[in-house]
Structure 1
């Protein structure tokens, strides 16, 4: 996939902001990506991997519905991450529709800063998503280790998230679970947004309450019906957390966290400069009509903001911007950037469980 937008521009133009002409050229590229997304959405993918050639190495992470496992291809010596979901847990948590959506979305999306799927299948007890292995680990791990990110690194990461959300929204996808735990860092230092369990195709508004408490938007909490605005609110929370080392809204109980979010009450650290304070204030805006990302100028409010001054958006898109931080990866299957977990055997049942619920999978 070519990431070139064909935009006639100079580095001076890019450093001083993003012109409307550049954005018009970029929209043509986004339209091309959307057309490709729609084509993949409507057809069954061809798998290039035989599951019998994959060997389990270790667990990379665990979650409410299962775990993520590192796999090695015995013949090609390539490495993959396999998300294993238990059918029973999906049923109990009433997440069947979300799981089916996640499968189709992962099969269809292709963007530099999102993961995509190589292969999916099911057995009597489990559902399996196989994706490329991203060896740099979670942003969450690096953020906790560093305490907070230096501003150039936060700006580098934020620019990729802006572009990723712009792509997802252009393809009518609302993500709904943006947080450091769902952002991976590749071997070159660039980002990959992962875990599309709450992502869905959106036409108009939706009312489902889902996401992570500290990152939920006010309109989502208040059950008002919402659209893409919730992702930009979550981006504001991420922006704050990357630069502060902690989220803007936090309490010991979720209900108290929700109260703070709905009131829009938070305090910026003294280390935040005026430009950072301004972009956070305009993104963590309770009034949707005044929130960056969803106003008349859309994503241009971010691309032309003073805090992003110096960022060359085209260079970021094409992964040509020198990363301020590159994780240590000694070899393609190096998993030392991921935490250690107890290994558990996967034992499929002797009969097909929940066959009708997962018939369309």
Structure 2
């Protein structure tokens, strides 16, 4: 990036051999000296991958050693335990787990001169030298000698990786050996147990039930396990209260002025009053027996939740109550937030009358935050509301008295304040919001800003169609776009029924952008109302960039395309399991990228689930800054992914071209990537390999994320070690489980790299083990000039080793560094890009493709002819799951 002394280097990813089915980068590169250097590095990596395929078909380790079946003596257990406690991969484990791991080591004896494993083979085991010595040989040169008590091979415990050296014994040697399977089972057991316990705590504790799922996930890593012995004081009366406890095992006594007031046991909790109300401890709590608790501090809660705990509790309660209200559920989140500022809290004691029979109902709306109120026939609990129907429909009267049954807090807001917050009449605003919500769900309108959508509404007209009425006929000229407001319509092509379209769905969109006849007949099944939009009106409110963007997105919605419509231009990329070709739809003059994966490879490497997962993820991606899947195909020999062809260069090369990515340029790229991650994370997709090489800069200068072979849909967390070492979050390396927050770490690494021309951890290292170790152990150091950067606190947030402290995309987007960013303008690609790639005739080879009217060569035959030029290793065919590819 133009910084003195900086060496540009492509950094290779670490991936399991079962997980490398990703689509490759489709950039078109200039053949500069720099790129020739990169090609040499790529060739070296390809050599490693070729060796990986060569050696992965059988296990070479342990075959030269002899297993000694005996029990470990106490001294040997201590020696193994000491090595583990001092090692960064194990030192975060509880001693109980380290002891359990010790049991899983087995002793192998080797004669002098025996090879333990060879360079470029796939590693599966970790070794501790019990006696003797070994030499470490890299590229036929001895680099070091290890003796008793030293260890090697640890990266093999995390993932399928190529051994970087050959290890041979220098004398008769015995080695303690731990398999990856045993290590991962132990790690997963500890992590899942801790995670399950903590999740159960959050789900079952009344005080945390109102937290959102995202807030709960952020808190999981903050819960601390603590043990006390009988007689220990956990909290002291009149002390400041800043920690909340829940009992896992044992019992405690609670006393005031030395008088016991109650006993608590497993599942019960204490300390919440001081935590919520910021008061001194009202009681002393003492352990009556051996005690295990989970605890969380108010400071941690403040850091994660962003406010005092009581405020968060009440604000969340109000948000939940809004969703239950017939009025507030139709308001936008921004309108909700405005209303929150006008809400007042009213507190009542037990048996107080809140509403009297005959009181006016509808001037205010009330939400129960704490306690309960009853009438003769009804009960209102926490989150319930009263007065919302009358607030919308008109005034009424209470027909009975409502009385509290306990200390009760109510949130109250007047109709006047609600309309002040929403900026107009309540009923009109709700109808307007409902229509905006519908438009947001229409694919071709998703990229429009709020302002553009509001302008669009002015052009919509409501048209009613009777049951069986034809809305338009196949072959008609298309001039209108339709959104179903009420009812259902049916679609027929050549007289054959295709599908049903119901409320909030749309049809006729191609006529908005293209001058072409209707491709199907549409008729109302029942009495139906549709919003209609004329082509001229639509184009009046859209500027040219958005029209181009929408045109491209519509072109990619081509369900009718088949393999026989495609002409093969050239190969543009390849991976271990698939090749990517530039192909061309001759009829529509549209280029695509076609990824082909041979069935024998899918079968041999058992990657059925991975191929299906990649398809499942790509089908969900409809975003202007994400590569789009058009369609999938299959035949007897292969499965295919037909995808958008991205014209541009990758961000790594842009970083070199720009010479310096300052803060202003960084805001552009990081803002775009945040929007992409937000889109993925909302769908519980963790990307896992965010780095400049996986970000294309398209012909408009905007980032587009590609390569989803490492992505995964997760419910809570996942354990696979996946990604590129320098960009991997600490929790991925530890193997204890991670979630979507891992992507934010990678984003922080990229921001650091933009600004300081280096990587934040282990920039000078290429050895995977050393990179992992330094990411785990090194502190974040910001260069001295960083004091001038406003993003210092953002870097500290994103590169926090505690994933819960990174927050989520929404909280990052609220950081002060993004002040003034118009997120809608980024989505609509209306901001000026810092760099526009110079792409001159990127698909010039298309001129050689057969023109319309000539018979196209069969693309499947062409791909097969390319495949047979490569040697196919001898393999043992595995049985494929029945109908695994049914959805292709």
User: Would you call these one fold, judging by a TM-score over 0.5?
Assistant: yes
**After the TM superposition, which residues 225-264 of structure 1 pair with which residues of structure 2 at under 5 Å, given as runs?**
225-250=737-762, 251-264=765-778
How far apart are the structure 2 equivalents of 1:154 and 1:199?
Answer: 24
8 Å contact from structure 2 (residues 651, 697) kept in 1: yes
8 Å contact from structure 2 (residues 742, 803) kept in 1: no
3-state DSSP class of the match of 1:278? helix
3-state DSSP class of the match of 2:655? helix
3-state DSSP class of the match of 1:81? strand
**After the TM superposition, which residues 49-198 of structure 1 pair with which residues of structure 2 at under 5 Å, given as runs?**
49-90=561-602, 95-198=607-710
**After the TM superposition, which residues 199-218 of structure 1 pair with which residues of structure 2 at under 5 Å, given as runs?**
199-218=711-730
- Equivalent in 828, 833, 855 of residue 318 of structure 1: 828
Offset of 1:318 from its aligned partner?
1.6
Task: Decide whether aligned partners of structure 1 residues 269 and 356 sit closer, same or farther in structure 2, where only a CA change above 3 A counts.
Answer: same
Offset of 1:94 from its aligned partner?
5.1
3-state DSSP class of the match of 2:770? helix
Residue in structure 1 matched with residue 789 of structure 2 by the alignment? 274
Offset of 1:105 from its aligned partner?
1.2
- Equivalent in 301, 309, 318 of residue 819 of structure 2: 309
Number of residue pairs aligned between Structure 1 and Structure 2: 319
Offset of 1:231 from its aligned partner?
1.1
Offset of 1:89 from its aligned partner?
4.5
Offset of 1:30 from its aligned partner?
12
How far apart are the structure 1 equivalents of 2:577 and 2:784?
Answer: 40
Relative to the length of structure 1, the TM-score reads 0.76
Moved more, 253-262 or 93-102: 93-102
Per-residue deviation, residues 130-155 of structure 1 (Å, max 9, x unmatched): 11111012212222444442332221
Offset of 1:275 from its aligned partner?
1.8
8 Å contact from structure 1 (residues 136, 329) kept in 2: yes
8 Å contact from structure 2 (residues 752, 760) kept in 1: yes
Per-residue deviation, residues 204-263 of structure 1 (Å, max 9, x unmatched): 121122111111111111111111111111111122223333322232211110111112
Task: Decide whether aligned partners of structure 1 residues 261 and 279 sit closer, same or farther in structure 2, where only a CA change above 3 A counts.
Answer: same
8 Å contact from structure 1 (residues 115, 132) kept in 2: yes
Superposed CA RMSD in Å reads 3.6
How far apart are the structure 1 equivalents of 2:440 and 2:657?
Answer: 39
3-state DSSP class of the match of 2:633? strand
Offset of 1:201 from its aligned partner?
1.7
8 Å contact from structure 2 (residues 608, 884) kept in 1: no
Task: Decide whether aligned partners of structure 1 residues 308 and 136 sit closer, same or farther in structure 2, where only a CA change above 3 A counts.
Answer: same
8 Å contact from structure 2 (residues 751, 795) kept in 1: yes
Residue in structure 2 matched with residue 289 of structure 1 by the alignment? 804
Relative to the length of structure 2, the TM-score reads 0.33
Offset of 1:103 from its aligned partner?
0.8
How far apart are the structure 2 equivalents of 1:237 and 1:193?
Answer: 16
How far apart are the structure 1 equivalents of 2:650 and 2:595?
Answer: 15
3-state DSSP class of the match of 2:617? helix
Moved more, 233-242 or 137-146: 137-146
8 Å contact from structure 1 (residues 83, 128) kept in 2: yes
8 Å contact from structure 1 (residues 48, 118) kept in 2: no
**After the TM superposition, which residues 14-53 of structure 1 pair with which residues of structure 2 at under 5 Å, given as runs?**
32=441, 47-53=559-565
- Give ranges in structure 2 of 5+ residues lacking alignment: 1-331, 336-421, 423-432, 444-556, 846-862
Confirm or deny that 1:356 pairs with 2:880.
yes
How far apart are the structure 2 equivalents of 1:183 and 1:71?
Answer: 22
How far apart are the structure 2 equivalents of 1:158 and 1:186?
Answer: 16
How far apart are the structure 2 equivalents of 1:230 and 1:212?
Answer: 12
Task: Decide whether aligned partners of structure 1 residues 151 and 68 sit closer, same or farther in structure 2, where only a CA change above 3 A counts.
Answer: farther
Task: Decide whether aligned partners of structure 1 residues 95 and 150 sit closer, same or farther in structure 2, where only a CA change above 3 A counts.
Answer: farther
Residue in structure 2 matched with residue 328 of structure 1 by the alignment? 838
- Equivalent in 725, 729, 736 of residue 224 of structure 1: 736
Confirm or deny that 1:345 pairs with 2:857.
no
Per-residue deviation, residues 2-29 of structure 1 (Å, max 9, x unmatched): xxx9979xxxxxxxxxxxx9xxx9xx79
Task: Decide whether aligned partners of structure 1 residues 181 and 30 sit closer, same or farther in structure 2, where only a CA change above 3 A counts.
Answer: farther
Residue in structure 2 matched with residue 13 of structure 1 by the alignment? none
How far apart are the structure 1 equivalents of 2:819 and 2:645?
Answer: 33
How far apart are the structure 2 equivalents of 1:261 and 1:30?
Answer: 45
Task: Decide whether aligned partners of structure 1 residues 244 and 6 sit closer, same or farther in structure 2, where only a CA change above 3 A counts.
Answer: same
How far apart are the structure 2 equivalents of 1:203 and 1:47?
Answer: 30
How far apart are the structure 2 equivalents of 1:29 and 1:235?
Answer: 32
Task: Decide whether aligned partners of structure 1 residues 240 and 63 sit closer, same or farther in structure 2, where only a CA change above 3 A counts.
Answer: farther
How far apart are the structure 2 equivalents of 1:139 and 1:96?
Answer: 31
Larger Cα-atom Rg: 2
How far apart are the structure 1 equivalents of 2:563 and 2:575?
Answer: 23
8 Å contact from structure 1 (residues 68, 81) kept in 2: yes
Structure number with higher strand proportion: 2
Offset of 1:271 from its aligned partner?
5.1
Offset of 1:108 from its aligned partner?
2.2
8 Å contact from structure 2 (residues 603, 880) kept in 1: no
How far apart are the structure 1 equivalents of 2:713 and 2:652?
Answer: 27
Offset of 1:163 from its aligned partner?
0.8
Bigger relative contact order, structure 1 or 2 (CA pairs below 8 A, ≥6 apart) = 1
Residue in structure 1 matched with residue 309 of structure 2 by the alignment? none
Per-residue deviation, residues 281-331 of structure 1 (Å, max 9, x unmatched): 11010012322xx3xxx3343223232234221211221111121112335
Offset of 1:88 from its aligned partner?
4.6
Task: Decide whether aligned partners of structure 1 residues 229 and 29 sit closer, same or farther in structure 2, where only a CA change above 3 A counts.
Answer: farther
3-state DSSP class of the match of 1:252? coil
